[in-house]
Every structure is written in C-alpha cells, then in structure tokens.
Chain A
Amino acid sequence: MIVPASATPGFAPSRQEAHLVLYTVILCTLPHFFNISVSAILLCLTLWAYHFASHRWGLPRAGLMARTLLGVLLFAAAIITNEGLTLEAFVSLLTMMIALKLFEQRHQRDELTVVVLCYFLIVSGMFFDDSLLSTAYILGCILFTTAVLIHIQFPALALTPSLALSWRLASRAFPLMLLLFLIFPRIQGGLWGRPALLESNTGFADQISFGAVAQLAARGAAAFRVTFEDGFRPAINQLYWRGIVLWDCQGDTWKQGPDMRSAARQMEDLTARLGYTLTLEPHNQRWLFALDLPVRVTSERSWLRDDFAIQRLRPVTSRISYQAESVLTLQPGYQPARDDRLGLQLPRGGNPQARELAARLRQTAGSDAEFIEKVLDFYRKNRFTYSMTPTVAPPGTETIDWFLFNSKKGFCEHFAASFAFLMRAAGIPARLVNGYFGGEENPFGGYWLIRQSDAHVWAEVRDGGVWRRVDPTLAVAPERGQENARAASGAEERDSLYSRFKLSAVGQWAASLFNAWDMVNSRWNQWVMEYSIADQFRLFASLGIDLEKFRGIFQFLLIAAAMVGATVFFFLTLAFMRKTPREGDQVGRAWWIFREKLVRSGVIVHDYQGPADLLEAVGATRPDLRPQAEVIINFYIAIRYREQASAETLAAFRQAVRSFRPGRPGRNA
C-alpha cells in the first residue's frame, strides 16, 4: 500500500532516508570533483562527513545562525577559489549549498529541495564533459535521483520498486525527449552565452613561456578530430596544424603581439587544395586550427588573418565543427613593410651569450640559409636532448643562455623559442607558430585524432619573399616526426605508466580498443552533441518543410510558445499546489491566510486537519496563540459548518484573521 509521506504529521526523516539523500548528493557531485577547486572539494567532503556523523552519533546540528554564516562563507569561498564568476564557481557554489542544505531538514519539502537541486547539479556536468561515458553516468544519476524522489514521497515504496518506476517513467519520457531534441528550436551558442570555463581542460594559451607546452603535452585528451576528403592519407610529418602566430618576443616569453584583424589576401586558384572537416574540442580561446597552410575556412564569425592564423570572434566554449582547405606546399608570403618591423623585434638587453653566438655564426655564414643550417648544426652537434622534463633554470639566470649553454635539454618550445631568438639576434625576421604536430589515424572511424600531447611549436623565418617553416625540434629529435611528443622524449620517459601502456605488447589491442572507443565517442559527438540548427533545417527540409524561409519567425514563435507555456504551467502548478481558494471566496481565502500564518509561527498544519484538530495543533505547539486561534476557528466553524453566520460574523472573522499576528516561534514553543 502506498501512503504519501506528506500525509504523516510532523517530520523527522529517518536515518536511512537521510543517508539516501546524502548518497544521492554524493553521486551527483562526484563527477564535478574534476571541475571544482580542491578547497571546494574539501569543504564538500567536510560537510558530508559532518552530516553523516550527526546522524550516526547525534552530533549537534547547525542552527539557523550557523547555517546563514556558513552559507555566506561558502559563497565567498566558491567565488574566491574559482577566480570570480566562472562556471566552476557556480558549480562549486551549487555543490556546497546543497551540502549545506542537508543540515536544514525540517520539512519533507527540504528533502525534496535537495533532491531536485541534484538534477541541476547532474545536468551542469554537461558543461564540462559531454562524452558518451559521462552522458551515460548522468542518465544513471537522473534515474537514481528520480527513484529517490519517488521513495521520499512514498516511503512505502521501497527503493528497488522506486527504481523500476523511475525507469518506466524515463522510458516513457524518452520518445518525448527524442522529439524535442529533433524539433525544438536550437539556440546556437546559448541565448546569453555561458560563463567561461576557468581552466579549459585543453588550455592552450595565447603566449608561451618556457614550460607551458610540456604541461599540455602530458595530457592525452583529444584536441580535435579531422576527416579528410576523398580518403586522403597524409604523411605524418606533413601534419603541422597551425594555431596562432607569436610575434612579440620578451626574452623567454613569446606573445601574440599586435591584433592582426586584416584578412589574408585571397589565394589565386590553387589546384592542390586539400579539403577536410575539423571537429574542435572547446579550448576557450579565440582561434581555430587548420593544416599548414590554410587557404579557406568556413566557420561562422571567424577569419583567416594575414599571418594565416584563424581568428574567431568568440572563444570556443563548446565543440564546433568546420570545414577548411589547405595547400601543403604553400608558404605564407612575406610583407616587408610590416614583417620587417615585427619579425625583428627583440628586448633591448639580456641573453648576451646567445646574441654573441648569433653574431659569431652570422659572420662565418655566407647567406641566411647557411646561417640557419649552422644554427641547426649547433643544436645537433652540442648534444642537445629532447625531454619533457627539462631542468628549470635557476632564478636570476638568462633562460635562453642557460638552455643553450648549460642544460641543453628541452622540448619543442625551448628549441623553437631559442632558435627564433638567435634568428632575430642575427637580423633575420623570425616568428613562432603554436599548434599541433602529427596525429593518429583511427582505422575504425577513418578520421585523425590529434591529442593535446601533440601540441607543438615551430619557427618560421624569412626566406626571400616567403616565410619558411623551420622546426628545430626535428633537428634534435627526428623521431618526433614519427611519434607524439611523449614517446619521442627519450628513454627516461618510457617508464611512465602512459608510455608503458602505449608501447608494451598489450598496447597493440589496447590501442585498437582505444581507437574503437574514440570512434564511438566521435560519432556520438557528431550525431548527437553537434546536432545544430542547420541539421534541424535539413531534417525539416527532408520532411518537406522549408524552415529556412521563415527561420526567424519560426524560432521566435516556438521560443515564445515554449516560454508562455512554461509560465502558464508554472502559475497553474502554483495555484493547484498551494490550493489558493478561488477569487471571491473570501471566507476560504481568509481561512487560508490564517493557516499560512500558523505555519509561519511554527504550528504544524496539515491539509487533512479539520478546524477542531487545527485548534488542538495550535494548543500543542503554541499554547500562547490558542485563545486568539480559538476565536477565529469558532467564527470559521459558525460560517462553514453551523451555517448560521450573519454578515457581521463574516466581517468579524476576516478582521480577526487580519489582526492575527502570531510572530515567530518563541523559545518556549
């Protein structure tokens, strides 16, 4: 038999129920532990542990004052530890406030609030990770949360049948979800945009300083996936994925320099164009990637700068797909007027040894090309090694000097940056290109996967009328041209778990397993997560409805209808939930107000109580209110049940309710 818990008078959640709510909260918060700050995690764990302990050993609960104070502190903590109003800050605020809400369980609706908030918590996980696996986890959480919601409202229904019911509900809702997914107007990029991610898990900064790319290279996560047209299979050492171009040298740090908004001049018709589709994971930056050298990119609000970096108006905060065309053999043109000025800029002083080396080599070299060879030889012949964990320069030393003459150990960035420095010191315009190099073909999906660990920096130097690509890293570690950064970084790295996993015999089938899994994820992204307005229009077009024509009107109408519907539904629910009496029924309305006042004064009021029982309840919890309440209740009974009320009684009743001021529950209550 099912008895709604709301029917039980008084409310004291059983320990078992309280634990169930706690488990729900933990289940829904767990995935966010990857997203929120460590201090927020610790705060959450502390609150949970205390909540658990307070049920187990009856520790004192936080009172209203303590909760308010804690709430303010946690709010501050969420904002401070996540650097302002970022998405992470909102999520950690939500997690901590839910953890705090666990302490306020006076009514059943408090429990319900916690569980309902959990839905928001789970779904907000989609902001961070929408892979197939985490979507499955999120769905599982939703099923469980619904089951708990059912169980709390109908305690007689044990958890297992609640889960079954939740499953049935979900499977019935599934077709509706599918339908809404397909036909509900999609809002590209969100109505008001969404808060920026604090640390995009693909952090690729707009500057490099010694050390940054190594952290990036240590990550195995996907950066983007590429499908080439016409089954083209490039050689791996052709795959230079151009990102941003760094002009501004400040010693050991390189920055983007001036914001070049001018577009690249149109290429004359080139026959060797290579077309491909690139699906970029969000990296929170304002640029896109394309194979060196891109000639055309079709993506909204983005353009090809004249240094052939692809600029985008807004940061990439969600996965996007775009088509691009590149010509592998093309080199960017040199524009003397500007490039002379920008490509030779160097800090006034610093790194004297490097400057001296550049001057010495330049004197012996007959031409610029010879000088470049000499510098590369310098790297080759002086036992430079490629390493992901270079020794850090002691503070106060000149970093480039120290790298060139002391440590001689570094990765792409050290080589490229020091190389470009030497070039500029010798009067040859040079710049750095930050991007990715290489990739791995997924045999299942027929696409290439470029990981964060493929991040790379190379140099471009002036060679007559063009910029020539020079990759000094390859001079030191030619194998970097065949494998990704980590594998190329020497034997010392091969002990690491990841490398062993990659290279051992097991690695073979593990790699194919990984490829298959990545393919499934990629399809998931392609078909579900990237279902866009355009796809929607295509769907409608295939049904013979041309929405493109009335795009704006259609979208506006649907959104307006949805919003109006939601508003109406909200108010209807409110009206039915609160059982506000009809307009014009003054007695009912006054009675309702009276009961609301009693509720606020701490009396436990139930819908099923008649007036006499209500008076008993008042006497039990607020004896001080009883005389007043008795007068009002007797008026009400005279009107409603004795049916002998005159107009005066009615007025007196309403007046009595109006002047009924119970105040807050007293200490003695």
Chain B
Amino acid sequence: MDIRQANQRQPSLGQIAAPADVPAQLQLLFAALEQRLGGHILGKEKQIRLSLCCLLANGHLLIEDIPGIGKTTLAKALAKVLGLEFRRVQCTNDMLPGDILGVSVFDQRSGSFSFHPGAIFTQILLADEINRATAKTQSALLEAMEERQVSIEGESRPLPTPFFVIATQNPLEQAGTYPLPESQLDRFLMKISLGYPDRDAERRLLAAGGIEVSDDEQALVDAQVVSQLQEQVSQVRLSQTLVGYLQDILDFSRNSGRFAIGLSPRAGLFLARASQSHALLHGRNFALPEDVRRVLPYIAIHRLKTADSLAAMTIAELELVFQAVPVPA
C-alpha cells in the first residue's frame, strides 16, 4: 500500500530543485514528452517515466507482460516522439543470429561480400517474446546490446546511437520458451510490467476505439537531442553521501542474507545511472536518495531472488525489504 502512496508523491520530487538547476526548457520538454506518450499509453504515467528514465540512462528495458497490453505501442510511441528509428523483431525458436544481426552476402557483380544489416541496426528495437528465441540467438542479441556493436566475420560494425532495446516476454506461457539466464537478464537495466489499465483509462481507450501511433506523428526531439540528454544524465551529480547510500544498498543486497545472490557491480552502475536519469527527469542536476529508492525495485526485480526459496519477489516486497537500509545522515 505504501508503494502506491509513494508513487502518488512522486511528482513532488521536483519541488526540491531550485529553478536554476536545470534549464526550464528541459523541464518543459520532459513534461511535453510525458504528456505525448501519455496520450498513447493511457493511465501508465509511472511506466512511461520509467521507460524514459531507462532510455536516458542508456540502458535496455525488459517488459514482462501478457499480450495486448500495449508494449508495442509504448515502443512505437517512444520512437515516434523522440524521433528515433524503430524496428521490431518477433522472436521464434527457428530464428538465427543472422536474422537479427545481419549477414554478409557474396555479390557476384562486385566480386566481394557485402553486408546486409539485420533488424538490430536501428535506434529503438522491439524484440518481442525474446524468450522464444534459442539461446544462441538470445546471446547474439544480448552481446550486441552490451557491446553496442556487431562483429561479423571479423569486422566490427557500430550500432546507431542512441541504441535502445525493448524486449518483451510473456510471464505465463512457458511451453517452448528459453528463459533468459541470469547473466543475460543482468544486461537489462530495468524490468517493468505495464499491467491492465485502470477503469478510467480503459473507458477512454474504448471510447476512442483504440489508439494508433500514426506514421505522420510529429517528433518532439531528434536522435541528437536524445544523445545530448543521455550525456547530460551522466553529468548529474552523485554526491559522496549518495554514493555511500548506493554502497549501503549494494552491501545490503549482498550481505543481509535475504537474497540468494547480491547485486552485481554492473547492477550498481546501472542503479547509479538510473538514479541520475531519474533526477534529471525531475529537473534536478543532483541525485537524491529518493531517486535511488524509486528506481531500485525495477532494477532489482530481475536480479534478486529470496535466499530461502529462490523465488522472485514482487516490487512491493522489494520496496519493503530495502526499507531496512537507512539513508545516511
């Protein structure tokens, strides 16, 4: 119950910032972004903000949800509004790494191999039902996500910037799937789920007869601006106190005995980056413990399992468990 309350308080985080911290245009931009996206995904402000936060933190997003809940719409809308190139692959078990990465084909006319880039050469990639792809294909994709480049036949080809993968998986269907191993889950910055719309949002959705992301939708920014924003995120101040708090959290996840395995150093880096991103989204150029606490459950949920039963935890449980970590004075 406290999580819901926490989320209702979320907008107020901006009040802490002095106006001069972040240019007013930027704050207006974020507001506009969220508003536009909110017009496509009704009643999911929190998920929209987390997606933006994830994107600006230069991390990849995993969405676990049932079909028809708006995952594709979210990806598409993000691409449109941010002016990014968008592609989608539907993962299947007969898919080969080449289908995603691309293949070199011998061109008889030129007498040489020419590279036909795969779906991954885009700025926003929606990898639907990633757990239906075989381990080989999964690892190829995930390696590319991490390296941000594709190596085929000894040649490295950088991926476009920004590069943002939204992978989805269906939590219910288990038959014929290849669940992502922990090492690969760790590459995703956050895992969220959208969930059913609330009554009001659903009413609006039904009344409108569905909300399409039309092709002629105007972008608010372009790829260059997104890259600049990502750069700006890395400039957000992480004070000594805050780093101490981050360390306390990592330490707690490793040594409290509550979790089977603690958070990895990479997860720690992600947490710091996501906190910065969250701070910037709220118009601050310094991160607060609240930023950490808001993003932490979504970073921890696919990484931590309970020590006693190795079961996954819910967001609410994670919120509660991490309340044991005090904020340093």
A643 to B320, CA, bound (A): 29
Binds A, one of B43-51, B225-233, B239-247: B239-247
Q: Are A610 and B327 in contact (CB under 8 A)?
A: yes
Interface string of B1-30 (1 = CB under 8 A from A): 010001001001100101000000000000
Interface string of B250-262 (1 = CB under 8 A from A): 0000000010000
What are 6 pairs between A and B in contact, CB < 8 Å? A3-B317, A610-B292, A612-B12, A634-B16, A641-B287, A643-B237
A609 to B324, CA, bound (A): 11
The interface residues of chain A lying within 8 Å CB-to-CB of B288 are 610-612, 637, 641
8 Å CB interface, A1-45 against B? 1-4, 7-9
A613 to B16, CA, bound (A): 10
Contact of B290 among A7, A587, A606, A610 (CB under 8 A): A610
B313 contacts the other chain (Cβ, under 8 Å)? Answer: yes
Contact of B329 among A581, A606, A615, A616 (CB under 8 A): A581
Contact of B323 among A585, A589, A606, A611 (CB under 8 A): A606
A265 contacts the other chain (Cβ, under 8 Å)? Answer: no
**Given the known A-B contacts A1-B308, A8-B320, are A609 and B329 also in contact in the complex, defined by CB atoms under 8 Å?**
no
Interface string of A566-593 (1 = CB under 8 A from B): 0000000000000101000101110110
**Given the known A-B contacts A608-B325, A641-B239, are A7 and B9 also in contact in the complex, defined by CB atoms under 8 Å?**
no
A174 to B323, CA, bound (A): 34
Q: Are A9 and B329 in contact (CB under 8 A)?
A: no
A640 to B238, CA, bound (A): 10
Q: Are B13 and A608 in contact (CB under 8 A)?
A: no
8 Å CB interface, B305-329 against A? 306, 308, 313, 317, 320-329
A585 to B306, CA, bound (A): 36
The interface residues of chain A lying within 8 Å CB-to-CB of B327 are 607-610
Contact of A610 among B12, B258, B293, B313 (CB under 8 A): B293
8 Å CB interface, A593-612 against B? 606-612
A642 contacts the other chain (Cβ, under 8 Å)? Answer: yes
Question: Which of A1, A8, A9, A589 gathers most chain B CB within 10 Å?
Answer: A1
The 10 A-B pairs with the shortest beta carbon distances in the complex, nearest first, are A610-B289, A607-B326, A7-B323, A588-B329, A608-B323, A610-B290, A640-B241, A612-B290, A3-B320, A641-B239
Closest Cβ neighbor of B311 among chain A residues? A1
Q: Which residues of B contact A (CB under 8 A)?
A: 2, 6, 9, 12-13, 16, 18, 237, 239-242, 258, 286-290, 292-293, 306, 308, 313, 317, 320-329
The interface residues of chain B lying within 8 Å CB-to-CB of A591 are 329
Q: Are A611 and B320 in contact (CB under 8 A)?
A: no
**Given the known A-B contacts A579-B326, A608-B323, A634-B16, are A613 and B290 also in contact in the complex, defined by CB atoms under 8 Å?**
yes
Q: Nearest Cβ distance between residue A69 and chain B, in whole angstroms?
A: 37
Q: Which residues of A contact B (CB under 8 A)?
A: 1-4, 7-9, 579, 581, 585, 587-589, 591-592, 606-613, 615-616, 633-634, 637, 640-643
A634 to B18, CA, bound (A): 9
A609 to B286, CA, bound (A): 17
**Given the known A-B contacts A1-B306, A1-B317, are A8 and B2 also in contact in the complex, defined by CB atoms under 8 Å?**
yes
The interface residues of chain A lying within 8 Å CB-to-CB of B293 are 608, 610, 613
A606 to B322, CA, bound (A): 12
Q: Nearest Cβ distance between residue B245 and chain A, in whole angstroms?
A: 8
Q: Nearest Cβ distance between residue A608 and chain B, in whole angstroms?
A: 4
Q: Are A643 and B286 in contact (CB under 8 A)?
A: yes
Q: Are B290 and A641 in contact (CB under 8 A)?
A: no
A7 to B239, CA, bound (A): 26
Closest Cβ neighbor of A642 among chain B residues? B286
Q: Are A1 and B237 in contact (CB under 8 A)?
A: no
A579 to B288, CA, bound (A): 21
A2 to B317, CA, bound (A): 10
Closest Cβ neighbor of B18 among chain A residues? A634
Question: Which of B16, B242, B290, B322 gathers most chain A CB within 10 Å?
Answer: B16
- 15 new A-B contacts, CB < 8 A, other than A3-B320, A613-B9, are A7-B323, A7-B324, A581-B329, A585-B329, A587-B329, A608-B325, A608-B327, A611-B16, A612-B288, A634-B16, A641-B239, A641-B241, A641-B286, A642-B237, A643-B286
Q: Are B242 and A1 in contact (CB under 8 A)?
A: no
Closest Cβ neighbor of B241 among chain A residues? A640
The interface residues of chain A lying within 8 Å CB-to-CB of B237 are 641-643
Closest Cβ neighbor of A591 among chain B residues? B329
A592 to B327, CA, bound (A): 12
A634 to B242, CA, bound (A): 16
The interface residues of chain B lying within 8 Å CB-to-CB of A616 are 9, 12
Q: Nearest Cβ distance between residue B240 and chain A, in whole angstroms?
A: 7
A591 to B329, CA, bound (A): 7
The interface residues of chain B lying within 8 Å CB-to-CB of A608 are 293, 322-327
A168 to B96, CA, bound (A): 56
Q: Nearest Cβ distance between residue A620 and chain B, in whole angstroms?
A: 9
Q: Are A2 and B16 in contact (CB under 8 A)?
A: no
The interface residues of chain A lying within 8 Å CB-to-CB of B320 are 3, 7-8
A4 to B322, CA, bound (A): 10
The interface residues of chain B lying within 8 Å CB-to-CB of A613 are 6, 9, 290, 293
A588 to B242, CA, bound (A): 14
Q: Nearest Cβ distance between residue B300 and chain A, in whole angstroms?
A: 13
Q: Nearest Cβ distance between residue B278 and chain A, in whole angstroms?
A: 12
The interface residues of chain A lying within 8 Å CB-to-CB of B289 are 610-611
The interface residues of chain A lying within 8 Å CB-to-CB of B16 are 611-612, 615, 633-634, 637
The interface residues of chain B lying within 8 Å CB-to-CB of A588 are 328-329
The interface residues of chain B lying within 8 Å CB-to-CB of A9 are 2
A1 to B16, CA, bound (A): 35
The interface residues of chain A lying within 8 Å CB-to-CB of B239 are 640-643
The interface residues of chain A lying within 8 Å CB-to-CB of B313 are 1
The interface residues of chain A lying within 8 Å CB-to-CB of B308 are 1
The interface residues of chain A lying within 8 Å CB-to-CB of B241 are 640-641
Q: Are A612 and B13 in contact (CB under 8 A)?
A: yes
**Given the known A-B contacts A608-B293, A641-B288, A643-B286, are A4 and B326 also in contact in the complex, defined by CB atoms under 8 Å?**
no
Q: Nearest Cβ distance between residue B303 and chain A, in whole angstroms?
A: 16
The interface residues of chain A lying within 8 Å CB-to-CB of B242 are 641
Closest Cβ neighbor of B291 among chain A residues? A610
A471 to B18, CA, bound (A): 102
A615 to B289, CA, bound (A): 13
Q: Nearest Cβ distance between residue B290 and chain A, in whole angstroms?
A: 4
Closest Cβ neighbor of A637 among chain B residues? B16
The interface residues of chain A lying within 8 Å CB-to-CB of B321 are 1, 3, 7
The interface residues of chain B lying within 8 Å CB-to-CB of A642 are 237, 239, 286
A448 to B289, CA, bound (A): 74
Closest Cβ neighbor of A7 among chain B residues? B323
The interface residues of chain A lying within 8 Å CB-to-CB of B290 are 610-613
Q: Nearest Cβ distance between residue B134 and chain A, in whole angstroms?
A: 34
Q: Are A4 and B287 in contact (CB under 8 A)?
A: no
A347 to B325, CA, bound (A): 83
